[in-house]
Structure 1
């Protein structure tokens, strides 16, 4: 029987711990930084000039335990020291040089000196840091040549040395960087030929070496790069070289930019590049006709200007629905001005098309020539202008400048009361709370190689993309201003606002900062790679330890506290014995219904008192009970503001319930996805634990598959939507939650349906955090844990080995898919659904087990859905698809659905948050905000939020 302690006993227990815990903590924290790394940091500091005293705290204390600026540490297994894991000194106005002692930081993963004024050469000793993943030296005044030793960094993911004065050749040793994805070496003085050996890089995505002095021939071997997406070589001198025909085989290529490279010959056949969206071959010496083959329909930008191209503009230069710019000026083109270019483009309010045909030999126009208002066309210095008969043609024959290449917006709202001036508050223009005053974070952000030419049509997509990656709501981001810079590169200033409150908390600031500074997010291919220019804390600066640094990583903190916890555990045991003895003499049985000072508190989650819960449920009247399970009872409640909620009340003395209570609050407080149930708040008083969720009017999926409970059968289209929504919720847990999460109890009764039958995954009481990378960057393949879950849904491998993986959730979801298809329960009368479906399929009787309540359905879609479900339920985890593959296959099945079944009302959200239907691929910002609002539709009656276990 659990021991209940009175307030006095709690205070006694706390007093004993309060006296002795600091001692044990001191013993544990006595672990210090590796002396060789302390020596290295001191040498690094002596080589730098710090006029603003940003590194003043490097003069005292231990680097790791004293939170030296920019230093993040970790504790290594079986090692008596702490080690430097990150050294990030972003834009601190540092000058001087980089010390060779950097090579002594043997455990470093991130080395960053971006946007300072550091000169001198890059120390070759950096090549000794084999653990290094990010080498970020861009935006300085570094000179000299690139050390061959950098090619020894076998774990390097990103090399950024752009915007410096580095000269000499690109070392051939860089071909050994087998894990590198990003080589950003643009805007330097690199010379010589690009080594063809770089074609051996197996996962290289972006090669940016524009604005250098490179020469020689373009390596035809680049066609062998299996993953290359961006090849940007502008403003080099490949005199006499032609564009290799082999480049047509780089099937992954999205952007090919070879502007002003002194290239000769003709344009090769690029029709085999299915994803190409940006082609810039301008300012070369290319000759011959324009390509007569069909380019990718993904094209946004085609710039072939300032060459010697001749012939007419072929009809294949139409049919580009996303085209923003077609530049053919300063060539030798003749014939008619085409009018078909814009015919396949559906212009939205912000969509534009810029056509520059200036200074050619175009002689005529079609009879009916009426470009839409969204089209800007330049025909200046063409014969057609000299012989123009139509009066409205005159406007196309004037020298013009392009439209504005920058933008800005304002936060002010004339209908709002001005914000207080003691702190730099301002109105969040997109806040769902009108006139909310808040203090934003400022972020300098630049797209280094975007795949677009005009930003306004893509602003909504960018906002959705970035906020989903940063795990923010759309209304928390405001693009304050943007401007196109030479490159072209798109620079912008972003403001990030706290969620429905005035200020960010420190944890959230550090999370966002870490994700941006550590390149933990990857934007959509449309926007390409980004760079962080600055991260402005403003009034938050005094709240963040040393502004840009947190001293110890989570792993280090865990290691440091381990000794303290062990010692404190001993003290706690002694204290508990004393208290139990006193408790046995003075046991008092009393129920406390008032709020306890020891209540569990969670930032950002609403706390309810017991009285509020009793009032919401009419004192937990039986008429409000809508469910019951091993954890306790579930009630439908109405809060004081009229919000309908589901209240899960733990039964008294439920130890398991207590564990699940804290687990679910901790997880749901930081998970935000439209396919996960939302936690409204909780109640934690001495004798009461309750979780408060959004109410789901249509109950559980299991209810709708039960012939006794279902009021209206689900159609196949609805079932497929539910499957896809569930899968998207789970892939968010596996891939986007930080850290990732294994649900461990996916089942039909834990998939809830809102008023529009959108699926939301619920009940995280058994969930476990996924394994995180160890010191070598290797992620363990599983979590070893006691088997928990629901019979019929349990992964056989997990059941036998106790090894929980992401594929365990895939198995459970596969069982749910089989339930959707058959209506059967996972286990009923000794029959297992996985085995029953397999036997039916093997005997050619698959359609005999399909639930006849769903009505008509496309047989091909059913077959593909059954195949996917069976593969999810394979015994061997490696034979199951990943969750991302599950989502992709479900999307493909959805696209196969006939128009009648795929109605616009059955819209869904993609992983990035964009709403789509089979007939629509995008929505406006306001439509998106409306569709994912802060709560679900409220109705007067419905099914329970939480079903019994």
Structure 2
């Protein structure tokens, strides 16, 4: 078995060797010089901070490059004169920590490889901003959390590989938009819910590996629509129902492997006879019933139908499948005579070729002899059948072979050595080995190999030995090496089943070692998945790429190139060893600290010595006062947590109840930046904004103190779990109040602001349910024409905000305008109308409501918890929400127009409706007061009703079906 912790130990046994390994690891890095503190620089610094101390991985310093304080594994590329990070390749480097949301700022990134590390936390939704990302490789970490629907924006993605983590939650249906996705590997996680049928639209998908999760529901028949599919592996999930009959339509594709082992499936086996490319069929450990299929494809090599409820006789056609290597039918209720005399098989190609038939624990009563059974390549197992008890004639086949099934391991044949040739002639102390690939040619040659841990993730065979030579030839061809240069030293079947092999790559005949450019080329081919695929061997992955002597020192002779390191730089690191590296790192850190002020803001909550800030109209609190107000930041007083930090409810010395936002270390700002933000916030005063009461900038801490909002966030009251659902008229009141607060930011604040993160959780409700807009952490100053000239009414900025609320035009163009806030507010209006969140189970609220409207089912989306509502108010409210959420910026109304529309809707409310604005909210819709002119939610509205009548103010009589 390959164990990653052992493999890492092999790769990086010492600090000096780690430096050497990592030098080779990314020798294709190209550094372009730039002195700007760009978004790319800041993003990389945040990523470094989030995954631990990586400065010991530094390899070269040539000023302030566009990769920030770069480390091995970062590739920068010049695009139109500007340097961008295009690759992060940090494979198997023992990184810890979490993935920073700042990853989303590396907008030109094409490869993100963090495989085989110890990274925890969730995958940030901001990764969905990387529209050019082609390889998303996060396998073999300790990631948790759920999958963000925003990843559906990664339309350039070719490989989505997050297997061997602990990610849970559903698979978002938005992944149907991954138009270029070919490899979808999510096996060995804790995913739940059903597989979205929308995934059937992934026309390019070749490999679908969802095995070893907690998926439920029926397997969607739409999967069979994917004509490019080669492998479907869904083993060890908790599905229900039967195998979709449409799976026989895989005959239109080139599918080679269908594996649905242990999936809780019932029913009968569909007709797969027309799938002429199928090599591997595993439907074992289900509750399948009925007889065996009368016909199966002649191409099959592995059939595993064991541990089901199948009955009847074995059809004659199955005996004629001449390419079979495994036929596993044990633990069923099959009966009759085993017609071995009908057996036919193609010639066995080598000593490793076998044909195993396991018919144990069935009800077979007799066996027709066959000469084929006498061949050493053929094995028949019959233990546990009545025929074994009835006659001694079949004793050779009746030995109990419990537990032996697929993935048979047969020792690899020993290669005989020529006379006078021995591996004892090789200097094993310096990692020299005998090239066994040359032994067949009578050549006895020692050389220095490269060792590669290589794993086939879903091969289309269950016995490896017949494919050993084919695998070596395949890899030799793809790696541009001769056959004798690729040798498989050993192999192991792992759960899955997956096949791990240890590869030895040898230099060409007559050479003792590879040169550095060859090492680089070979590594890149493995790491970037440029080894072309193969139907038999399926998808692969690299577990390690081990370079011992002489590759950890001979790089000093490498010729300098545009993308390589200078020989002197490498030699200096190599000759100095670990101690020299450590000294360089310390010197570099001190240099960077001095140049960039990295230590200006103290980490670890240490005291900062500077003149206390003074901001007019805002009180300055000490850290001691904050500690007392929060009972030493008691967790029981924590009422929230956001990107800035934790939020605590507190009581100040004068009795005022406040909310204290305490910045976490990653959110600490420099004194100048914090002062600028305070001065901005201190000038914002409006009845529909949350007021800033004070701040704390003391003892290494930064805190913002706001007035406390007694009724929490708007989202709290829209959730289905809320015990106080909002009535319709109160929702209008909240929408109007929030709109006025945003309008103030856009037009009356000094200077004007774009909020950039309008959402239901940033609209707070005071003790009278008045709306207060909060959290200006992402706000940006609006352009002022008198100062900046005509900027077109927008600010060019890195995309920030919350998935589901983001203005699509801002997302695409990075041009932030007041209409960006309008779009987000439109989503809030739809939340008020429906009670739903902007993204639910991969479904986008804006799109879903539009679809319901077009289907004539708009009323079915209305939140039933808000009780009765006047039809004459509902229509303009919905029109306004749709107008705000238009894709085109110029088509949206301004906030001033939004306020006027909402005021007009409020005036349409019946006179007595306004009385409930300041009264308590009913806890159940059924107890809500029915005002004159109001209508009640009808759950039976369907597409049978013409959409033009849905806003008429009358509800037709509908009888439930």
The TM-score bracket by the shorter chain reads 0.5 to 0.7
Do the aligned partners of residues 361 and 429 (structure 1) sit closer, same or farther apart at CA in structure 2, a change above 3 Å counting? same
Within the alignment, does 1:47 sit opposite 2:54 as a pair?
Answer: no
Q: 8 Å contact 1:288–1:308 — kept in the other structure?
A: yes
Within the alignment, does 1:495 sit opposite 2:483 as a pair?
Answer: no
Do the aligned partners of residues 368 and 223 (structure 1) sit closer, same or farther apart at CA in structure 2, a change above 3 Å counting? closer
- Match for 2:78 among 75, 80, 99? 75
- Match for 1:429 among 436, 458, 468? 436
Q: CA deviation at 1:423?
A: 2.9
- Match for 1:263 among 262, 265, 274? 265
C-alpha distance in 2 between matches for 1:420 and 1:544:
17
Bigger radius of gyration among the two:
2
For residues 457-502 of structure 1, the C-alpha deviation after alignment (integer angstroms, 9 at most, x for no partner) is 1111111111101110000001011011111110111010111200
1:250-399 equivalences under 5 Å are: 250-251=250-251, 252=253, 253-293=255-295, 295-340=296-341, 342-348=343-349, 349-368=351-370, 371=373, 372-390=375-393, 393=396, 395-396=398-399
1:823-838 equivalences under 5 Å are: none
Q: 8 Å contact 2:91–2:117 — kept in the other structure?
A: yes
2:421 counterpart residue number: 415
For residues 69-90 of structure 1, the C-alpha deviation after alignment (integer angstroms, 9 at most, x for no partner) is 111121112x2x3221111111
Q: 8 Å contact 2:107–2:130 — kept in the other structure?
A: yes
Q: CA deviation at 1:216?
A: 0.5
Secondary structure of 1:376's match?
strand
For residues 647-667 of structure 1, the C-alpha deviation after alignment (integer angstroms, 9 at most, x for no partner) is xxxxxxxxxxxxxxxxxxxxx
- Structure 1 length-normalised TM: 0.52
Secondary structure of 2:339's match?
coil
Q: 8 Å contact 1:267–1:286 — kept in the other structure?
A: yes
Do the aligned partners of residues 551 and 122 (structure 1) sit closer, same or farther apart at CA in structure 2, a change above 3 Å counting? farther
2:519 counterpart residue number: 509
Q: 8 Å contact 2:243–2:269 — kept in the other structure?
A: yes
1:529 counterpart residue number: 539
2:126 counterpart residue number: 125
Q: CA deviation at 1:408?
A: 5.7
C-alpha distance in 1 between matches for 2:557 and 2:157:
27
Do the aligned partners of residues 540 and 170 (structure 1) sit closer, same or farther apart at CA in structure 2, a change above 3 Å counting? farther
Q: 8 Å contact 2:312–2:333 — kept in the other structure?
A: yes
- Match for 1:470 among 454, 474, 479? 479
Secondary structure of 1:459's match?
helix
C-alpha distance in 2 between matches for 1:547 and 1:363:
73
1:940 counterpart residue number: none
1:242 counterpart residue number: 242
C-alpha distance in 1 between matches for 2:339 and 2:230:
31
Secondary structure of 1:337's match?
strand
C-alpha distance in 1 between matches for 2:471 and 2:303:
22
C-alpha distance in 2 between matches for 1:547 and 1:359:
65
- Match for 2:454 among 442, 445, 453? 445
1:944 counterpart residue number: none
Q: 8 Å contact 1:51–1:93 — kept in the other structure?
A: no
Q: CA deviation at 1:551?
A: 11
1:212-227 equivalences under 5 Å are: 212-227=213-228
C-alpha distance in 1 between matches for 2:316 and 2:36:
68
Deviates more, 1:471-480 or 1:531-540: 531-540
For residues 628-651 of structure 1, the C-alpha deviation after alignment (integer angstroms, 9 at most, x for no partner) is xxxxxxxxxxxxxxxxxxxxxxxx
Q: 8 Å contact 2:326–2:356 — kept in the other structure?
A: yes
Q: 8 Å contact 1:443–1:534 — kept in the other structure?
A: yes
Within the alignment, does 1:179 sit opposite 2:183 as a pair?
Answer: no
Do the aligned partners of residues 45 and 398 (structure 1) sit closer, same or farther apart at CA in structure 2, a change above 3 Å counting? closer
C-alpha distance in 2 between matches for 1:127 and 1:551:
35
Q: 8 Å contact 2:341–2:368 — kept in the other structure?
A: no
Do the aligned partners of residues 34 and 345 (structure 1) sit closer, same or farther apart at CA in structure 2, a change above 3 Å counting? farther
For residues 895-916 of structure 1, the C-alpha deviation after alignment (integer angstroms, 9 at most, x for no partner) is xxxxxxxxxxxxxxxxxxxxxx
For residues 761-798 of structure 1, the C-alpha deviation after alignment (integer angstroms, 9 at most, x for no partner) is xxxxxxxxxxxxxxxxxxxxxxxxxxxxxxxxxxxxxx
Q: 8 Å contact 1:409–1:479 — kept in the other structure?
A: no
Secondary structure of 1:291's match?
coil
Do the aligned partners of residues 60 and 208 (structure 1) sit closer, same or farther apart at CA in structure 2, a change above 3 Å counting? farther
Q: CA deviation at 1:57?
A: 6.6
Q: 8 Å contact 1:141–1:165 — kept in the other structure?
A: yes
Do the aligned partners of residues 157 and 36 (structure 1) sit closer, same or farther apart at CA in structure 2, a change above 3 Å counting? same
C-alpha distance in 2 between matches for 1:547 and 1:156:
38
Q: CA deviation at 1:407?
A: 4.3
Do the aligned partners of residues 199 and 155 (structure 1) sit closer, same or farther apart at CA in structure 2, a change above 3 Å counting? same
Q: CA deviation at 1:327?
A: 0.5
Q: 8 Å contact 2:381–2:397 — kept in the other structure?
A: no
Of structures 1 and 2, the one with the larger relative CO (CA 8 A, separation 6+) is: 1
Q: CA deviation at 1:222?
A: 1.4
Within the alignment, does 1:405 sit opposite 2:415 as a pair?
Answer: no
Secondary structure of 2:368's match?
coil
Q: 8 Å contact 2:66–2:84 — kept in the other structure?
A: no
1:652 counterpart residue number: none
Within the alignment, does 1:460 sit opposite 2:464 as a pair?
Answer: no
Q: Give the aligned length.
A: 525
Q: 8 Å contact 2:40–2:66 — kept in the other structure?
A: no
C-alpha distance in 2 between matches for 1:188 and 1:499:
42
C-alpha distance in 1 between matches for 2:71 and 2:456:
31
Do the aligned partners of residues 185 and 428 (structure 1) sit closer, same or farther apart at CA in structure 2, a change above 3 Å counting? same
C-alpha distance in 2 between matches for 1:508 and 1:314:
54
Secondary structure of 2:430's match?
coil
C-alpha distance in 2 between matches for 1:513 and 1:222:
35
Q: 8 Å contact 1:411–1:428 — kept in the other structure?
A: no
Deviates more, 1:147-156 or 1:219-228: 219-228
Do the aligned partners of residues 410 and 90 (structure 1) sit closer, same or farther apart at CA in structure 2, a change above 3 Å counting? farther
Secondary structure of 1:286's match?
strand
1:206 counterpart residue number: 207
C-alpha distance in 1 between matches for 2:393 and 2:207:
48
Specify every segment of 5 or more residues in structure 2 that has no aligned partner in the other structure, as ranges. 1-30, 567-961
For residues 730-754 of structure 1, the C-alpha deviation after alignment (integer angstroms, 9 at most, x for no partner) is xxxxxxxxxxxxxxxxxxxxxxxxx
C-alpha distance in 2 between matches for 1:151 and 1:399:
46
Do the aligned partners of residues 532 and 412 (structure 1) sit closer, same or farther apart at CA in structure 2, a change above 3 Å counting? farther
Q: CA deviation at 1:415?
A: 2.3
Q: 8 Å contact 1:380–1:396 — kept in the other structure?
A: yes
Q: 8 Å contact 2:526–2:542 — kept in the other structure?
A: yes
Q: 8 Å contact 1:32–1:82 — kept in the other structure?
A: no
